[in-house]
Chain A
């Protein structure tokens, strides 16, 4: 094995708590009803193409992403459209969603439900991208950016590397880990598809070495694919963030405010590669995904393959029910996930985990004065000064925030994690980012 790599600037080491890493992926039955939000991706929400009362099949297109950055949405169960209404989603607000009452589990024709591996294909780049788009594949790494858009390299830029993000640097989460172990072959094929679509001849899979088994497994599989290499990485949060991952793997720095393609890289999550495989070779839309359910007092932590739109509470039941001492339920990882204020919110394409914290674990430390210990600025992987950004935001000095590059903050949360005085740094920075963003837009006209 090669020497482990990592990024140089900043980073933290939160406790890993990967309780569910040994639990293989368990497929759950379709729930009684699902609520499928129209906005599960970054960009413009999709427009519904079904009406209340319509019968739909699992895998059927129910909302179309028409804008350039948008994605199609498919029914994840078969049944009747109960209504199209606003439901509370993980944002904490009511958003438009299509509610379907499940009847049976009938799939549309053309989806290859066979589990067997397909490796041969004869498709050109356009066709691959089209299938990805049709089947509503979005990034599974968290940002849910429509994947087909990433396949279209802008004019004048050239992609050199496809980087596959198998880092899963978030503590507690194990979905990608399990997927790599159990669907390694499919992921490899998915990667070849992505490479073809992008027109690159090199792909690197980055995996942190706390997933030694997955690392080894993929390394073995990669022997068959000379274009794909697997690189072990030292454990450090947020290695999974694309800029940090690119730095770690190919030692290139994406310039401030620019996309990875600027340095010839495109980053995809391993889950995305799997979804691409299914979409392109099995014609299966993105209608289910792996979700880790975990937490120190959860009875049966596990990784579940669930239909999009399943209420979170159903998932929690599957893991043994909501523990008595629950204080907080998080959608996503402990570092970047969102705390839920309602347990009926649906699982979406971006839901990588549901974490249940006890009362004790959910309390933030009390806030004290910043003692200027410089920890936040030392660990900020973007080289920012979080304490300063938070103070400037507080004082509404937005121009200075911009000069201090507040917009470079990727909200990784390392600063808030490390701060000994319990300053809610990231909370303030987020407010600042919103305001600076607005200011920049206004200035642009």
Chain B
């Protein structure tokens, strides 16, 4: 007789799987990747590859020799971590530092807690902030975009728009004057500006975001709440004093805000579960980002604010439960 399988219900299973989702994210990152390669040339390719390979390698080594659990390096999450880490550092970062960043992201940010799904903080951002604090010089030396550069070393470096504003304002210069040193909004949108390897092109990132929304990989709640609240808070300050605080659109298009809101705040593992929780999370990120950008020591606050909000996630999950069926009965 045939050996029947016995299992609990249900007996159907949706097509979606972890690796499908993860590779979906990787796929959606392609436009941003292309823009990054276009503006930063070979260096960006090398940094991205190094980060991806290093992340996968560290995950493999730790799983094999330290945790001794099943190997999951091909589920795609380490690839995302690698790509996003590379996207978050200057394209000319020495490769040794890229490897250190990957080790920290995977080793400390992810595998310390048991791997996929268990980490309280976004691994790529842990890696990035670690690098940021450890190697402030290298991490703030940004190459300027130069189309299809094949040289690995001699990129022209210069300040990012956010640094220009931060420095200038701290020296008492009015924003309107500083704006002259910054590419116009069309260029900002396309990605023709100085910055981390993958964060530059708002349009490419939005494209990826739309793809993920359509494929239902992410929901709109976090990105919209994040970008919306950042724009609103920035707008309030801008209205108060436009010569000290740049306008909201500037904030949206520069730095890592787009990348953060669409790819890093939405990381399942480190964001809240309920819809209301997601919105609170997004608003918190937006508020903190603007506060750090405008008042902190750093010109950029996306990484820090997402990490700080990551810490709030367990409390948010505790406090903001989904609405239970039959909880408050409104009959009619």
Q: Could you say which of A243, A330, A373 contacts B325, with CB atoms under 8 Å apart?
A: A243
Task: Among B114, B269, B324, find the residue whose CB has the most chain A CB atoms closer than 10 A.
Answer: B324
B116 near A369 with CB under 8 A, answer: yes
Q: Indicate if A258 sits at the interface (CB-CB under 8 A).
A: yes
Q: Which residues of A contact B5 (CB under 8 A)?
A: 327-328, 339, 362-363
Chief secondary structure at chain A's binding surface:
loop
Q: Could you say which of B6, B269, B323, B327 contacts A371, with CB atoms under 8 Å apart?
A: B269
A370 near B117 with CB under 8 A, answer: yes
Given contact pairs A371-B268, A417-B13, A341 touches B326 in the complex (Cβ within 8 A)? no
B325 near A256 with CB under 8 A, answer: yes
B8 near A328 with CB under 8 A, answer: no
Q: Could you say which of A327, A365, A372 contacts B17, with CB atoms under 8 Å apart?
A: A365
Name the interface residues of B59-78: CB closer than 8 Å to any CB of A: 72, 75, 77
Q: Indicate if A171 sits at the interface (CB-CB under 8 A).
A: yes
A372 near B331 with CB under 8 A, answer: no
Residue of B with least CB distance to A341: B6
**Once bound together, how far apart are the Cα atoms of A345 and B70, in whole Å?**
39
B11 near A339 with CB under 8 A, answer: yes
User: Contact string, A310-343, partner B, CB cutoff 8 A, digits 1/0?
Assistant: 0000000000001000111110101111111101
Given contact pairs A371-B117, A377-B274, A382 touches B324 in the complex (Cβ within 8 A)? yes
User: Contact string, A402-430, partner B, CB cutoff 8 A, digits 1/0?
Assistant: 00010010010110111111101011001
Write the nearest CB–CB distance from B45 to chain A, whole angstroms: 29
User: Contact string, B1-13, partner A, CB cutoff 8 A, digits 1/0?
Assistant: 0101111111111
Q: Indicate if A47 sits at the interface (CB-CB under 8 A).
A: no
Q: Which residues of B contact A385 (CB under 8 A)?
A: 273, 321-322
A377 near B273 with CB under 8 A, answer: yes
A426 near B9 with CB under 8 A, answer: yes
**Once bound together, how far apart are the Cα atoms of A258 and B327, in whole Å?**
11
Given contact pairs A377-B322, A420-B21, A338 touches B9 in the complex (Cβ within 8 A)? yes
**Once bound together, how far apart are the Cα atoms of A413 and B7, in whole Å?**
12
Name the interface residues of A2-32: CB closer than 8 Å to any CB of B: 9, 12, 14-15
Q: How large is the interface on B (under 10, 10 to 19, 20 to 34, 35 or more residues)?
A: 35 or more
Given contact pairs A368-B75, A368-B116, A422-B13, A374 touches B268 in the complex (Cβ within 8 A)? yes
Residue of B with least CB distance to A326: B2
Write the nearest CB–CB distance from A168 to chain B, whole angstroms: 15
Chief secondary structure at chain B's binding surface:
loop
**Once bound together, how far apart are the Cα atoms of A263 and B330, in whole Å?**
11
B117 near A256 with CB under 8 A, answer: no
Q: Which residues of A contact B117 (CB under 8 A)?
A: 368-372, 421
Task: Among B72, B75, B322, find the residue whose CB has the most chain A CB atoms closer than 10 A.
Answer: B322
Q: Indicate if B18 sits at the interface (CB-CB under 8 A).
A: yes
Q: Indicate if B115 sits at the interface (CB-CB under 8 A).
A: yes
Given contact pairs A337-B11, A422-B17, A253 touches B326 in the complex (Cβ within 8 A)? yes
Given contact pairs A254-B326, A328-B7, A171 touches B12 in the complex (Cβ within 8 A)? yes
Q: Could you say which of A362, A371, A411, A426 contacts B18, with CB atoms under 8 Å apart?
A: A371
Q: Which residues of A contact B16 (CB under 8 A)?
A: 375, 418, 420
Given contact pairs A327-B4, A328-B4, A417-B14, A381 touches B9 in the complex (Cβ within 8 A)? no
Write the nearest CB–CB distance from A354 to chain B, whole angstroms: 13
Q: Which residues of A contact B12 (CB under 8 A)?
A: 14-15, 171, 334-335, 417
B274 near A252 with CB under 8 A, answer: no
Write the residues of chain A forming the contact surface with B, with a CB cutoff of 8 angstroms. 9, 12, 14-15, 92, 171, 243, 247, 251-256, 258, 263, 322, 326-330, 332, 334-341, 343, 355, 357, 361-365, 368-375, 377-378, 380-385, 387, 405, 408, 411, 413-414, 416-422, 424, 426-427, 430
Q: List 7 A-B contacts (CB under 8 A).
A: A253-B326, A253-B330, A256-B325, A368-B75, A371-B116, A378-B275, A416-B8
Write the residues of chain B forming the contact surface with A, with a CB cutoff of 8 angstroms. 2, 4-14, 16-18, 20-21, 72, 75, 77, 114-118, 219, 268-269, 272-275, 321-327, 329-332
The 6 closest A-B pairs by CB, nearest first: A413-B10, A369-B117, A383-B324, A335-B10, A374-B273, A373-B268
With A9-B323, A327-B4, A426-B10 known, 20 other A-B pairs at CB within 8 A are: A251-B331, A326-B4, A336-B10, A337-B11, A339-B7, A369-B115, A371-B18, A372-B269, A377-B274, A378-B219, A380-B322, A382-B324, A383-B325, A383-B327, A387-B273, A408-B324, A416-B9, A418-B16, A420-B17, A424-B8
